Amino acid sequence: MPPDSDQKTGDSSPALADETFRLHPLTPIALGGRVLGILIVITALGFAERGASGGASPNWIQVAIFGGLALLVVVRGIITVAVTSYHLLGGELRIDSGLLQKQSKRIRLDRVQSVDVLEPLSARIFGLAEVKVTTAGSERAAVRLRYLTLPVAQSLRADLLGRSTGAGEGAVEAPERLLITVPHGRLVGSVLLEMVSWRLLLLALGPALTVIGQQNGHKATTGIGIAIFVWFAVLIAHAIWQRVNSLWEFTVTESPDGLRVRHGLLSTTRQTVPPGKVQAILIHQPMSWRPFGWVQVRMNVAGYGRADSSKRTTLIPVTDRAFAESLVGWMLGGIDLHDIPLTRPPRRAAFRAPLWWRAEWAGADDRVFVARHGLLSRTIDVVPHQRTQSLRLSAGPWERAFGLASVHLDSTPGPVRTRAAHRDASEARQMLDRQIDRARMARQIGTQQSAPAPQVS
């Protein structure tokens, strides 16, 4: 079971009415935590080096320089706290900031796509957290409140989500129901399989050069081989640590204000995606996971760009395929992905994609469009009709030569990029026209979630 970190704040939480609030006084230290830590380490190493070499006194010039830099970092943070305030005004969040050049950001809460509570290590030490509000638009439009105490951040998140969904002011943390917690062993195993599998070829290059150099007596070749091995080993270990650290204790829960995703070892992220804000979903199965039946689930959310970190678009980093398909079906209103009729390209598509054309499947029902693709690593893309942003038809010179075309369904920026590839040109045109009609009708009717959420086995 995940740690019970999100609980109702009750009467002890500060009331979040229509008034002015400010950042926490310890924000300057938390903001400059990384820089201050580096300066302290460099200074300590300098003292240790002079002590080891028998230096009579510390290098006061070095101390003054690093002390001055640390002071500038803290002063900058103090100014930020002094000139920044936020206001909850009914259906609007306003952020006022700036010392010489004043800025005022206004966020309509009915356009909020997600509200995240982030706890970087430098802030977590002091019990502080950041509230990040993402709206329909780009990642640059996100508003970040750094830093508040964790109870205030959780209360603010609940209030923002309550106002954005029409529940009204002063909403408290809604109860939640656990959907899945990723076991630690499965997470580490999946990361090792995903990270190491194809990188082993690069890692093996170093020992190969080392052996060649030893057999031929070339010391330079041997040295290069050892350096390559050490370099790639460090890179792989760092990549594995970063992913495990960010996805540790990955927990997904269901609540009235949306899906809640919590994860992180040193730095913790609490992400809340309100109902109906997920634009598209994919279920991906890397080749190295296929013997275990594992998959990962990722999503497109308006405001999360392609350049955004993958952990924010990850719904489940690793789980069983059956549970992933049932969860995606529940999120999209109780559909069954296996009931959606799919077709694949005509046989002449083999001239365009000789190996992959048999793995290209696509189809739709009255609620979603589904595309399955991938020969070694397999992916299922699912886009609700009402979330389709645009549709387009493409046909390159090679496709046109064989009377083929591809239909693309454009969603908001993110990991899901859906297309029905290498179709007969007339079939692609019909598919495009039908999708335009389905998207128009879906927006008029809307889709309500009515099925109960699945339970992990």
Counting Cβ atoms within 10 Å, is residue 355 exposed (0-12), middle (13-18) or buried (19+)? exposed
Mean pLDDT of 453-457: 59
Our CA angle for 200, 203, 206, nearest 5°, is 145
Within this chain, do residues 329 and 439 fall inside the same structural domain, yes or no? yes
Range of the domain at 341: 277-445
Question: What's the domain count of the chain?
Answer: 3
Q: What is the mean pLDDT of residues 41-55?
A: 65
From 332, 411, 407, select the one nearest 366 (Cα to Cα).
Answer: 332
What's the average model confidence in pLDDT over 349-355? 92
CATH classification of the domain holding 22: 2.30.29.30
User: Domain boundary residue among 157, 175, 193?
Assistant: 175
CB atoms within 10 A of CB 346: 15
User: Does residue 27 sit within a domain?
Assistant: yes
Query: What pLDDT score was predicted for residue 5?
Result: 36
Distance CA 323, CA 455 (A): 8
Query: Do 229 and 313 sit in the same domain of this protein?
Result: no
In this structure, is residue 261 part of a structural domain? Answer: no
Are residue 18 and residue 128 in the same domain, yes or no? yes
Same-domain check for residues 94 and 135 = yes
- Domain annotation covers residue 215: yes
Looking at the DSSP bridge assignments, the partners of residue 258 are 255
Same domain, 190 and 157: no
The predicted-structure confidence for 282-295, as pLDDT tens digits, reads as follows 999 999 999 999 99
Is residue 28 domain-shared with residue 164, that is, in the same domain? yes
User: Which of 175, 210, 238 is the last residue in one of the domains?
Assistant: 175
What's the pLDDT score for residue 196? 72
Whether 65 is in a domain gets the answer yes
pLDDT band at 424 (very low <50, low <70, confident <90, very high): very high
Say whether pLDDT at 11 is over 50.
no
Q: Is residue 5 part of a domain?
A: no
pTM given for the model:
0.81
Q: What is the largest CA-CA distance in the chain?
A: 86
What letters, b where the CB count within 10 A reaches 16 and e where it falls short, cover 210-222?
Answer: beebeeeeeeebb
Q: Give the residue-averaged pLDDT of 428-443.
A: 93
Q: Count other Cβ atoms within 10 Å, centred on residue 45.
A: 10
Would 254 be classed as within a structural domain?
no
Same domain, 294 and 413: yes
HSE-up of residue 80 (Cα within 13 Å, Cβ side): 20
My answer on whether 196 and 161 are in the same domain is no
pLDDT digits (tens, 9 = 90+) for 63-121: 777 778 888 888 988 999 999 999 888 788 999 988 888 888 888 888 888 889 999 98
pLDDT at 281: 96
Is 454 within the bounds of a domain? no
Tell me what pLDDT residue 167 has: 67
> Which position has the higher pLDDT, 3 or 43?
43
87 and 193 housed in the same domain: no
- Do 118 and 195 lie in one domain? The reply is no
- Return d(Cα 88, Cα 240) in angstroms, integer: 41
> Quick one: pLDDT at residue 57?
59
Given 175, 193, 215, which residue is the final one in a domain? 175
One domain for residues 163 and 239: no
Report if residue 263 sits inside a domain: no
Domain co-membership, 440 together with 319 = yes
